[in-house]
Amino acid sequence: MNVDNTIFSENKASFAHLQKMLSKQYDNVSILVEKTSGRNYRFSKSGTTIKDNTFSNTGAVIRLNSSIGLYEYSFNDFSSDFMNTIPSIISENITKYNSQSLISDFKIPDSSDEFISFNKSTTYEINPADMNDSDITSKLSDIYSKAIQYNDSIIDCVCIYQYLNIHKMFLSSNKDLEQHLMWSNGVLQPLATKDDKTHYFLQTFSTLGGAELLDEMNCDVSYSCKCVTELLDSTPPVPGEYDVICLPDVTGLIAHEAFGHGVEMDMFVKDRALAKSYMNKQVASSLVTMHDNAATCNECGSYFFDDEGMISNDTVIIEKGILKSGINDLQSAYILNVSSTGNGRRESYERKAYTRMTNTYFEPGTDTLEEMIKSIKYGFLLENAASGMEDPKNWGIQCMVNIGREIKDGKLTGKIFSPICLSGYVPDLLKSITMVSDKLELSGCGYCGKGYKEWVKVSDGGSAIKARVKIS
């Protein structure tokens, strides 16, 4: 991987010196430095749009314990003249601030860990930054043409590709960490019309990699077109409770929206999560094991360390139906007296660190999808997740799915229902799971918002699951 880490190589000594100078006056001083850059490309009937990725930025944030609480100072001027003034700026600010002006009265706990140092990178096949804009838009144009030519009902196809290069450095008294990540996302959204009826199908693509994703999009465009034309003959379902099979994208929606937000432990601190009272209790079928895993997944929510300098983890949230752990940032871990899970994430160096999910998914089981379909007398195969709402305080389900394929007597009939709304109570759904497929699929085209609409990249998914669900 060709890493553009000039900002680190040229300024690292200055950052290290600054950290040491501040450590003479304050406790637990750390500096997070980041440089992110990328591009967004969109091609459709209406034309071509090219712009810098929204999350492109360069800057740093200092975090330390003052006499009256946790203090943070962010900046993006790395000149020696300015950096030499930072200790005095911090001293002046802390003097005039009161405790209510600081982030909280929480203090970063002392670390007795041994010194850790590493410089790690993800890999890719094709660096999009080495490609011309015209090369990428040409590939999107080819995908668009392929979609339009699929049949006469398709009137447009929105084709999107975006990537982000992420470089971060974390310095403290016991850590010298660097990470270099690249993720790529793609979207295909064909639109089809028939008899004054219009439908779209949204297919997403993601990888912890580069522009090789464009070839995957080209190969799958026919599937997107097939699905959108099928939707033209869809009808709404009859409301009721049914046996359903949720394909991995729908499973991921449940994992992230319906359950994942409920185990963010900063919500435990605020008593806004029902899961707090269910720790070490059954919340799902014994077939269910759920992870939040930034450490070993090849997806967009991955990293080697979080924005508080904690090494990434594979956190088992549900183990064989039992709620074993939540996820946390340093502050919530400290208040609740639990071990850190390395989930402290910032939208950027200018924003606060919150407890945030990474790659959230249900672990595979032993069943095949064919076996699961055969087991259903009457129900639906659900795919193409559309949207979801979290309800951590009550564990209600609010999930929308674009396609429900009818199953009758263990066979797909070919009839399609749309749209599908899933509702009910999360533990009821999870406890009703009787089969889990043997394949794991994750996708990371989404962002997760928190705080003041502060966004981070996440992935979700899992295996296909068979459950009993209310739909309308």
3-class SS string, 48-100: EEEEECCCCEEEEEEEEEECCEEEEEEECCCCHHHHCCHHHHHHHHHHHCCHH
Do residues 187 and 445 touch, judged by C-beta distance below 8 A?
A: yes
β-strand 175-194 against 447-450: which pairing, if any?
Answer: unpaired
102 or 310, which is more confident?
Answer: 310
- Residue 451: band (very low, low, confident or very high) from pLDDT cuts 50, 70, 90: confident
Res 3 pLDDT > 50: no
Peptide bond into 419 cis (omega under 30): yes
Largest CA distance in the chain: 75
**pLDDT at 110 (0 to 100):** 64
78 or 3, which is more confident?
Answer: 78
**pLDDT at 377 (0 to 100):** 98
**pLDDT at 393 (0 to 100):** 86
**pLDDT at 105 (0 to 100):** 57
CA dihedral of 18, 23, 28, 29, whole degrees rounded to 10: -20
Do residues 55 and 162 touch, judged by C-beta distance below 8 A?
A: no
Share of residues in the chain with pLDDT > 90 (%): 86
Res 1 pLDDT > 50: no
- Residue 425: band (very low, low, confident or very high) from pLDDT cuts 50, 70, 90: very high
**Spatial separation of the C-alpha atoms in residues 405 and 403, rounded to whole Å:** 6
Res 96 pLDDT > 70: yes
- Residue 390: band (very low, low, confident or very high) from pLDDT cuts 50, 70, 90: confident
Res 132 pLDDT > 50: yes
**pLDDT at 142 (0 to 100):** 97
Distance between first and last Cα of the chain: 48
Residue type, 469: V
**pLDDT at 6 (0 to 100):** 64
Segment 411-419 shows an average pLDDT of: 97
Res 67 pLDDT > 90: no
Res 112 pLDDT > 90: no
Instruction: Give Cβ neighbours of residue 233 (< 8 Å, ≥ 6 apart).
Output: 416
Res 2 pLDDT > 50: no
- Residue 391: band (very low, low, confident or very high) from pLDDT cuts 50, 70, 90: confident
**Spatial separation of the C-alpha atoms in residues 47 and 55, rounded to whole Å:** 23
Nearest to 360 by CA among 340, 333, 341, 373: 341
Average pLDDT, the chain: 93
Res 99 pLDDT > 70: no
Do residues 258 and 397 touch, judged by C-beta distance below 8 A?
A: yes
**pLDDT at 98 (0 to 100):** 57
Poorest-pLDDT segment among 62-76, 182-196, 362-376: 62-76
Share of residues in the chain with pLDDT > 70 (%): 95
Q: Residue with structure tokens 């406790």?
A: 27
Res 240 pLDDT > 60: yes
Do residues 365 and 437 touch, judged by C-beta distance below 8 A?
A: yes
| Tokens of residue 417, six digits | 């229902």
- Residue 266: band (very low, low, confident or very high) from pLDDT cuts 50, 70, 90: very high
Per-residue H/E/C for the chain: CCCCCHHHHHHHHHHHHHHHHHHCCCEEEEEEEEEEEEEEEEEECCEEEEEECCCCEEEEEEEEEECCEEEEEEECCCCHHHHCCHHHHHHHHHHHCCHHHCCCCCCCCCCCCCCEEEEEECCCCCCHHHCCHHHHHHHHHHHHHHHHCCCCCEEEEEEEEEEEEEEEEEEECCEEEEEEEEEEEEEEEEEEEECCEEEECCEEEEECCCCCHHHHHHHHHHHHHHHHHHHCCCECCCCEEEEEEECHHHHHHHHHHHHHHHHEHHHHHCCCCHHHHHCCCECCCCCCCEEEECCCCCCCCCCCECCCCCECCEEEEEECCEECCCECCHHHHHHHCCCCCCCEECCCCCCCCEECCCEEEECCCCECHHHHHHCCCEEEEEEEEEEEECCCCCCEEEEEEEEEEEEECCEEEEEEECCEEEEEEHHHHHHCCCEEECCCEEECCCEEEECCCEEEECEEEECCEEEEEEEC
What is the chain's Cα-based Rg? 24
